[in-house]
Chain A
Amino acid sequence: DAKTTQPTSMDCAEGRAANLPCNHSTISGNEYVYWYRQIHSQGPQYIIHGLKNNETNEMASLIITEDRKSSTLILPHATLRDTAVYYCIVKGLGNAGNNRKLIWGLGTSLAVNP
């Protein structure tokens, strides 16, 4: 079972920031938070990951709360091409046992509107 909970759907106006929340209250100390997205009918695409510090790359920013029980993915200036399903996943570092796998939930369907 997925270890995260996300809203089923969200809307955002084009050009505005999209803030996608994720709850992971049972996260353990060595587990990372990953975000992927899946544009309709395509394979998922990696966006960003983090452990406890906030992270930023060319696609998005990831804000993780101090207690690590929740996080927010921020798309600073959403475009129509950002319309997709966004998945938040937690996974431990390393390659042993369950750390070899990603467990996918249902994600958040983000609609960016003109």
Chain B
Amino acid sequence: NAGVTQTPKFRILKIGQSMTLQCTQDMNHNYMYWYRQDPGMGLKLIYYSVGAGITDKGEVPNGYNVSRSTTEDFPLRLELAAPSQTSVYFCASRGLAGLEQYFGPGTRLTVT
């Protein structure tokens, strides 16, 4: 299994641009999560999903959108990029009965 994969690894955006961060897992996990991590800080939950077609807001959802059309994919959309969205973004997944989350390698995003 590849586990949780994220693309791209790095991206630089200009203010006002939009982009989609991709996340895919091949473990048939029900739960998927998007976090952001600012330098020297812990992870903040942006959005999560408990299954295909179901998403919910986390702690810091403003400026982001998600969708979950399949079990495998959970893309994160930034519509109007702002410098405050400069961060490292991590995607994670968890099985319905599992207790641990599995994380992807992250996407480092810079907005200038």
Contact indicator B100/A46 (Cβ below 8 Å): yes
Contact indicator B101/A2 (Cβ below 8 Å): no
Smallest Cβ distance from A44 to chain B, in angstroms?
5
Which residues does A use to contact B, with CB under 8 Å?
A: 2, 32, 34, 36, 41-46, 49, 87, 93, 95, 100-107
Contact indicator B99/A44 (Cβ below 8 Å): no
Contact indicator A44/B90 (Cβ below 8 Å): yes
Contact indicator A41/B99 (Cβ below 8 Å): no
Contact indicator B99/A34 (Cβ below 8 Å): yes
Q: When chains A and B are docked, how far (Å) is the Cα of A42 from the Cα of B106?
A: 7
Tell me whether chain A's interface is mostly helix, strand or loop, or mixed: loop
Contact indicator B50/A100 (Cβ below 8 Å): yes
5 A-B residue contacts at CB 8 Å? Answer: A34-B100, A43-B90, A46-B102, A95-B50, A101-B33
Chain B residues lying within 8 Å of A2, measured Cβ to Cβ, are: 42
**Given A49-B100, A101-B48, also A42-B42 (CB < 8 A):** no
Contact indicator B106/A101 (Cβ below 8 Å): no
Chain A residues lying within 8 Å of B41, measured Cβ to Cβ, are: 106
Given contacts A41-B106, A43-B105, A106-B40, 19 further A-B contacts (CB under 8 A): A2-B42, A34-B99, A34-B100, A36-B101, A42-B105, A43-B4, A43-B92, A43-B103, A44-B90, A44-B103, A93-B99, A95-B31, A100-B48, A101-B33, A101-B45, A102-B45, A102-B101, A106-B41, A107-B42
